[in-house]
């Protein structure tokens, strides 16, 4: 142990120091005593840290990292820019006036088809549905029809020359030489597809659409570009590129198929991507759809936090949610109100008990303390099930009330699945957390003070109010903060006895994690709750000190 | 108010004295009755949650062990019990071994950043369970621990650690350092000193910390609901779904068994606390 090293230094005889009276005092091994002590201290610190390190690491990985992950998720919003990368870039310059230009619809077709093949469009639809209702169904419907976009062109190109259908025509035309060399056309093993720079310069949209096609089939289905026909969007892009080139094919002028297509282009039947999208769903003509995509294209968003306080991020900036969707402020208020009510009833019930316990002889109070500790040690679910059974309409309490005649058999009280149920059950569950700190403070109040007050002529009430009560206030403060902190984060009991009106913000968090799958909003609500608890905890630390937390 | 009424007390004082005791009696009743009342209810021969007329007449026919039989034969409950028994002890061993080491480190006289370290180690107790559960759910699904036995054990160990830290550091506060010095001066190395001198003295604190950690894991339902999957369904989880969906009287039988378990644990912790105080000379034997 560290004490052994310290012992050696302090107990060593000071002969070396006596031998050199002019220099600094030396330890037994001839080093200066100061340096020697510093070294021992440093070693002691390191040893202490080495003992703590494994646990610290464990908590950081299993507990602190998850909390930070949650905080991160409350602002993270990469899904839009990851699912529709080209569309997001194309929308950057759009001024939100009317529908965006044809170019946006063209790249949207490419993005959407790839997303649909990866089955990610529904996820994005539900994500955007949190912001604008109707997005989810729009995306699902579009996902079913998007592979037809560009079919008109595909048919015409292939009718013109069957080579356009052949993978063996496309890959050598579009692929970069270096990629083609490292990719094994037989087994389909090798790096992700890369388009050739010269082709990309002449046919940018086609290169992009083909690359999107090739990479998606490679990653998603493990397919080989040498064996798969391109998607319709590639033909659509080829038409756009050829039309834009206006017959000037540059270095590709000697590719016969392309030259043939360029010549036949004016005869082509046309159907732009915009028209195709509108055919699938006329909502694609609604600027709000694109405004939503644009508003949430940043990789980080304050949208979840705004939603958690009943605001929303619209294309025109921050605004208040429609009235029927304003639930979170109300829920926070209700959580606070009910936690306060629970804290108050805990003080009212806990104070007399703590007072009684601290004024009884130790033997009796230890015995009665067991009545407080037993509920403290009993499983939370046992206590909750007890209340669920007792408070039912056909339960024991209503039976007794009917038997006494306080309420009629027909008008049994609704004690459960409402706020009353939550407050009763949680007061019972949290009462020990109020009694124990109160008791430990009251134990230290000397009874002689109250006696002195009485002997000076104070009535028992005055003596209590002026002398005893002020000394017990720290205990009330500690108990109240503890109960309040525990109450606002409660989940199980409100879930089981709270019904619809007696639930807390934590029940909503659980709902968003497991049912509505709006993880971002759950994380934002959780972050707000966490901030609230940390402020209270800081208060508790200032008033009571975390080192004074005692158990049992 | 003193614990005995003086002979010269006025009528008003008498009324107040007895009135206060009755009030306290009622509050104690409120604390204990809900827990005790489920015990007779769990022997109900019917599938009701209240006393049947037969039970009130103490008719032996109205009582039965059928809910206990259901608990011990129903595969769902048995699997839940098995999962609880498999998860809680492993989580406890993890938190006790790491926690005791760290508590010893923390109780040394010179620990840099002691306040910050303490705050981090205690944080699982402060952060509301639903937030821990949400964070762990997100993070553990990222690293593939969500829905695994190992994930639940790690989560429960993290939740139990603050209790171990608090009880063991409390025991170490009264620890007489000259004992380890004496041991070292007699030639024992640090490891031997730890096991022969320090460990036996702080053992009561370690065991009660372990019991706290055990009950935390054994009783925990929020985190396991999110971090676990159907394969890790524990006893509290089964009770939770039972209470939420198809409430069956078997829950009362399980609750009664758990009450008995907690009485046993409470007694153990209380005995250990007294023994520890006696060993450290904090209270007369």
pLDDT tens per residue, range A259-295: 888 888 888 888 888 888 988 888 888 888 888 888 8
Q: What phi, psi does A133 have (nearest 5°)? A: -70, 145
Nearest of A30, A6, A3 to residue A17 by alpha carbon = A30
**Alpha carbon of A200: minimum distance to chain B alpha carbons (Å):** 37
Please list every residue in chain A whose beta carbon sits closer than 8 Å to the beta carbon of residue B20.
352, 356
Given a contact cutoff of 8 angstroms between Cβ atoms, the answer to whether B231 and B147 are in contact is yes
What are B229-247's pLDDT values in tens digits? 988 999 999 999 888 887 7
Decide if A3 and B136 are in contact by the 8 Å CB cutoff. Answer: no
* DSSP helix/strand/coil, A76: strand
In chain A, whose CA is at the least distance from the CA of B98?
A: A55
**Alpha carbon of B56: minimum distance to chain A alpha carbons (Å):** 12
Of the pLDDT bands very low, low, confident and very high (cuts 50, 70, 90), residue A492 is: very high
Average pLDDT over residues B248-271: 86
Structure tokens at A450: 């109250």
Q: Which has the minimum average pLDDT: A8-17, A135-144, A288-297, A523-532?
A: A8-17
Counts for chain B of helices (H) and strands (E), in that order: 13, 0
In chain A, whose CA is at the least distance from the CA of B113?
A: A49
What are B86-116's pLDDT values in tens digits? 999 999 999 999 999 999 898 887 888 888 8
User: What does the pLDDT read at residue A296?
Assistant: 84
Query: Of B134, B140, B270, which is closest to A522 when you measure between CB atoms?
Result: B134
Of the pLDDT bands very low, low, confident and very high (cuts 50, 70, 90), residue B281 is: low
User: What does the pLDDT read at residue A2?
Assistant: 42
Q: What is the spatial distance between Cα A21 and Cα B10, in angstroms, rounded to a whole number?
A: 81
Structure tokens at A174: 């579009």
Q: What phi, psi does A186 have (nearest 5°)? A: -75, -55
Average pLDDT over residues B240-269: 86
Given a contact cutoff of 8 angstroms between Cβ atoms, the answer to whether A103 and A240 are in contact is no
Query: Of A45, A73, A537, which is closest to B110 when you measure between CB atoms?
Result: A45
User: What does the pLDDT read at residue B138?
Assistant: 92
Max distance between CA atoms of chain A, in angstroms, equals 117
Q: What phi, psi does A175 have (nearest 5°)? A: -70, 150
Query: Of A60, A62, A374, which is closest to B155 when you measure between CB atoms?
Result: A62
Angle, CA A521 vertex, CA A515 and CA A524 arms, to 5°: 135
Average pLDDT over residues A380-393: 88
**Alpha carbon of A364: minimum distance to chain B alpha carbons (Å):** 10
CA distances from B237 to A272, A385, A457, B24 (A): 56, 13, 59, 35
User: What does the pLDDT read at residue B285?
Assistant: 35
Average pLDDT, chain A: 85
User: Side-chain half-sphere of B31: how many Cα atoms within 13 Å?
Assistant: 27
Average pLDDT over residues A163-168: 86
B62 pLDDT more than 50: yes
Query: Of B105, B219, B266, which is closest to A373 when you measure between CB atoms?
Result: B266
Q: DSSP characters for A252-294?
A: GTT-HHHHHHHHHGGG-----HHHHHHHH-GGGG-HHHHHHHH
B82 pLDDT more than 90: yes
Please list every residue in chain A whose beta carbon sits closer than 8 Å to the beta carbon of residue B117.
52, 56
In sequence order, the 6+-apart residues with CB closer than 8 A to the CB of B267 are none
Q: What phi, psi does A487 have (nearest 5°)? A: -70, -45
Q: Which has the minimum average pLDDT: A184-198, A277-291, A533-547, B176-190?
A: A533-547
Please list every residue in chain B whose beta carbon sits closer than 8 Å to the beta carbon of residue A52.
101-102, 105-106, 111, 117
Average pLDDT over residues A165-182: 86
Decide if A377 and B262 are in contact by the 8 Å CB cutoff. Answer: yes
Query: Of B38, B48, B126, which is closest to A537 when you measure between CB atoms?
Result: B126
A346 pLDDT more than 90: yes
Query: Of B48, B51, B108, which is closest to A2 when you measure between CB atoms?
Result: B108
Please list every residue in chain B whose beta carbon sits closer than 8 Å to the beta carbon of residue A359.
1-3
User: What does the pLDDT read at residue A7?
Assistant: 41
Given a contact cutoff of 8 angstroms between Cβ atoms, the answer to whether A496 and B243 are in contact is yes
User: What does the pLDDT read at residue A1?
Assistant: 38
Range picked from A31-40, A258-267, A278-287, B73-82 for highest mean pLDDT: B73-82
**Alpha carbon of A552: minimum distance to chain B alpha carbons (Å):** 8
A545 pLDDT more than 80: no
**Alpha carbon of A394: minimum distance to chain B alpha carbons (Å):** 7
**Count of pairs with CB atoms under 8 A, one residue in A, one in B:** 294
Q: What is the spatial distance between Cα A335 and Cα A533, in angstroms, rounded to a whole number?
A: 13
Range picked from A17-26, A242-251, B24-33, B192-201 for highest mean pLDDT: B24-33
Q: What is the spatial distance between Cα A422 and Cα A499, in angstroms, rounded to a whole number?
A: 9
Please list every residue in chain B whose beta carbon sits closer than 8 Å to the beta carbon of residue A529.
128, 130-131
Decide if A513 and B101 are in contact by the 8 Å CB cutoff. Answer: no
Structure tokens at A314: 């619209």
**Alpha carbon of B28: minimum distance to chain A alpha carbons (Å):** 7
pTM score, whole prediction: 0.81
Decide if A50 and B28 are in contact by the 8 Å CB cutoff. Answer: no
Please list every residue in chain A whose beta carbon sits closer than 8 Å to the beta carbon of residue B166.
549-551
Please list every residue in chain B whose beta carbon sits closer than 8 Å to the beta carbon of residue A45.
110-112
Decide if A69 and B138 are in contact by the 8 Å CB cutoff. Answer: yes
A10 pLDDT more than 60: no
User: What does the pLDDT read at residue A72?
Assistant: 92
Helices (H), A91-150: 102-117, 121-129, 135-145
Decide if A66 and B138 are in contact by the 8 Å CB cutoff. Answer: yes
ipTM summary value: 0.87
Range picked from A63-67, A408-412, A438-442 for highest mean pLDDT: A63-67
Q: What is the spatial distance between Cα A120 and Cα A118, in angstroms, rounded to a whole number?
A: 5
Structure tokens at A273: 């991507």
In chain A, whose CA is at the least distance from the CA of B37?
A: A386
Mutation choice for A interface testing from B139, B257, B261 by most A CBs within 10 A: B139
Of the pLDDT bands very low, low, confident and very high (cuts 50, 70, 90), residue B140 is: very high
Query: Of B120, B181, B222, which is closest to A59 when you measure between CB atoms?
Result: B120
Query: Of A2, A56, A386, which is closest to B255 when you measure between CB atoms?
Result: A386
Of the pLDDT bands very low, low, confident and very high (cuts 50, 70, 90), residue B266 is: confident
Query: Of A377, A379, A387, which is closest to B266 when you measure between CB atoms?
Result: A377
Please list every residue in chain B whose beta carbon sits closer than 8 Å to the beta carbon of residue A440.
none
Decide if B123 and A64 are in contact by the 8 Å CB cutoff. Answer: yes
Decide if A549 and B131 are in contact by the 8 Å CB cutoff. Answer: no
Of the pLDDT bands very low, low, confident and very high (cuts 50, 70, 90), residue A546 is: low
Please list every residue in chain B whose beta carbon sits closer than 8 Å to the beta carbon of residue A44.
108-110
Percentage of chain B beyond pLDDT 70 is 96
CA distances from A422 to A393, A431, A451, B71 (A): 15, 14, 41, 28
Please list every residue in chain B whose beta carbon sits closer than 8 Å to the beta carbon of residue A62.
136, 154-155, 157-158
In chain B, whose CA is at the least distance from the CA of A52?
A: B102
Given a contact cutoff of 8 angstroms between Cβ atoms, the answer to whether B36 and A385 are in contact is no
Of the pLDDT bands very low, low, confident and very high (cuts 50, 70, 90), residue A168 is: confident
Decide if A383 and B106 are in contact by the 8 Å CB cutoff. Answer: no
In sequence order, the 6+-apart residues with CB closer than 8 A to the CB of A54 are B98, B101, B102
In chain B, whose CA is at the least distance from the CA of A42?
A: B110
**Alpha carbon of A457: minimum distance to chain B alpha carbons (Å):** 16
What are A43-76's pLDDT values in tens digits? 888 988 999 999 999 999 999 999 999 999 999 8
Q: What phi, psi does A312 have (nearest 5°)? A: -145, 155
Please list every residue in chain A whose beta carbon sits closer than 8 Å to the beta carbon of residue B157.
58, 62
Mutation choice for A interface testing from B20, B138, B162 by most A CBs within 10 A: B138
In chain B, whose CA is at the least distance from the CA of A369?
A: B28
CA distances from A38 to A41, A43, B181 (A): 5, 8, 20
Q: Running DSSP on this structure, what letter comes out for residue A545? A: -
Q: What is the spatial distance between Cα B167 and Cα B172, in angstroms, rounded to a whole number?
A: 9
User: What does the pLDDT read at residue A187?
Assistant: 81
Q: What is the spatial distance between Cα A225 and Cα A211, in angstroms, rounded to a whole number?
A: 10
Percentage of chain A beyond pLDDT 90 is 23
């Amino acid at each position: 142990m560290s004490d052994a090293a310290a012992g050696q230094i302090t107990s060593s005889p000071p002969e070396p120091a006596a031998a050199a009276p002019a220099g600094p005092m030396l330890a037994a091994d001839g080093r200066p005593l100061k340096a020697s002590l510093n070294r021992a201290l440093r070693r002691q610190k390191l040893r202490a840290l080495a003992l703590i390190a494994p646990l610290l690491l464990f908590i950081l990985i299993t507990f602190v990292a998850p909390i930070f992950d949650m905080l991160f998720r409350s602002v993270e919003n990469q899904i839009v820019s990851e699912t529709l990368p080209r569309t997001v870039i194309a929308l950057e310059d759009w001024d939100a006036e009317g529908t965006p230009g044809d170019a946006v619809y063209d790249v949207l077709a490419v993005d959407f088809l790839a997303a649909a093949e990866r089955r990610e469009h529904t996820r994005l639809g539900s994500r955007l549905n949190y912001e604008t209702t109707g997005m989810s169904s729009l995306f699902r419907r579009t996902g079913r029809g998007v592979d037809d976009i560009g079919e008109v062109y595909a048919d015409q190109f292939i009718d013109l020359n069957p080579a356009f259908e052949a993978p063996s025509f496309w890959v050598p035309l579009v692929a970069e030489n270096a990629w083609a060399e490292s990719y094994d056309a037989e087994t389909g093993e090798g790096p992700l597809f890369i388009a050739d720079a010269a082709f990309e310069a002449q046919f940018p949209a086609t290169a992009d659409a083909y690359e999107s096609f090739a990479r998606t089939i490679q990653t998603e289905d493990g397919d080989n570009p040498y064996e798969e026909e391109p998607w319709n969007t590639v033909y659509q892009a080829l038409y756009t590129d050829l039309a834009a080139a206006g017959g000037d094919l540059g270095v590709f002028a000697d590719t016969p198929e392309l030259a043939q297509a360029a010549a036949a282009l004016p005869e082509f039947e046309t159907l732009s991507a915009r028209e195709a999208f509108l055919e699938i769903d006329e909502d694609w003509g609604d600027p709000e759809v694109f405004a939503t995509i644009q508003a949430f294209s940043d990789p980080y968003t304050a949208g979840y936090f705004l939603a958690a306080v009943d605001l929303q991020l619209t294309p025109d900036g921050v605004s208040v949610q429609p009235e029927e969707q304003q639930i979170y402020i109300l829920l926070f208020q209700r959580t606070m109100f009910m936690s306060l009510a629970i804290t108050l009833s805990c003080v009212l019930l806990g104070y007399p008990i703590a007072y009684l316990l601290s004024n009884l002889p130790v033997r009796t109070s230890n015995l009665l303390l067991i009545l407080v500790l037993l509920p403290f040690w009993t499983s939370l679910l046992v206590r909750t099930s007890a209340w669920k059974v007792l408070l039912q309409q056909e339960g024991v309490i209503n039976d007794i009330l009917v038997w006494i005649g306080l309420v009629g058999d027909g008008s049994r009280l609704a004690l459960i699945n409402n706020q009353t149920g939550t407050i009763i059950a949680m007061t019972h569950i949290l009462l020990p957390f109020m009694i124990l700190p109160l008791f430990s403070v009251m134990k230290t109040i000397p009874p002689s003070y109250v006696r002195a007050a009485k002997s000076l002529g104070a009535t028992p009430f005055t003596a209590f109010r002026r002398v005893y009560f002020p000394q017990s206030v720290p205990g009330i403060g500690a108990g109240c903060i503890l109960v309040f902190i525990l109450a606002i984060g409660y989940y199980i009991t409100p879930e089981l006895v709270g019904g619809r009106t007696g639930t807390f913000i934590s029940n909503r968090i659980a709902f968003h994690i497991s049912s509505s799958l709006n993880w971002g909003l759950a994380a934002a609500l959780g972050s707000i709750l966490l901030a609230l608890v940390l402020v209270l905890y800081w208060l508790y630390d200032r008033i009571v000190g975390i080192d004074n937390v005692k158990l049992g | 108010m003193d614990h005995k009424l003086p002979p010269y007390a006025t009528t008003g004082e008498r009324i107040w004295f007895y009135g206060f005791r009755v009030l306290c009696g009622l509050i104690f009743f409120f604390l204990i009755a809900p827990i005790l009342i489920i015990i007779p209810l769990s022997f109900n021969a019917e599938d009701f949650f209240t006393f049947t007329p037969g039970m009130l007449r103490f008719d032996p026919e109205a009582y039965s062990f059928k809910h206990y039989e259901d608990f011990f034969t129903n595969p769902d409950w048995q699997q839940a019990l098995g999962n609880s028994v498999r998860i809680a002890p492993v989580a406890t061993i993890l938190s006790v071994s790491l926690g005791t080491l760290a508590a010893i480190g923390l109780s040394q006289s010179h620990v840099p950043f002691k306040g910050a370290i303490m705050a981090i180690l205690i944080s699982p107790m402060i952060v509301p369970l639903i937030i821990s559960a949400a964070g762990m759910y997100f993070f553990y699904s990222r690293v593939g621990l969500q829905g695994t036995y190992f994930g639940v054990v790690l989560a429960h160990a993290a939740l139990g650690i603050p209790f171990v830290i608090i009880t063991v550091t409390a025991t170490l506060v009264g620890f007489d350092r000259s004992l380890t010095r004496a041991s070292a001066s007699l030639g024992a190395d640090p490891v031997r000193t730890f096991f022969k001198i320090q460990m036996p003295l702080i053992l009561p604190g370690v065991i009660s910390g372990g019991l706290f950690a055990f009950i935390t894991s054994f009783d925990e339902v929020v985190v396991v609901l999110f971090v676990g999957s159907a394969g890790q369904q524990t006893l509290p989880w089964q009770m939770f779904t039972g209470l939420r969906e198809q409430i069956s009287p078997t829950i009362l039988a399980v609750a009664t068994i758990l009450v008995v378990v907690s009485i046993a644990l409470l007694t153990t912790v209380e005995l250990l606390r007294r023994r520890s105080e006696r060993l450290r000379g904090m209270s007369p034997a």
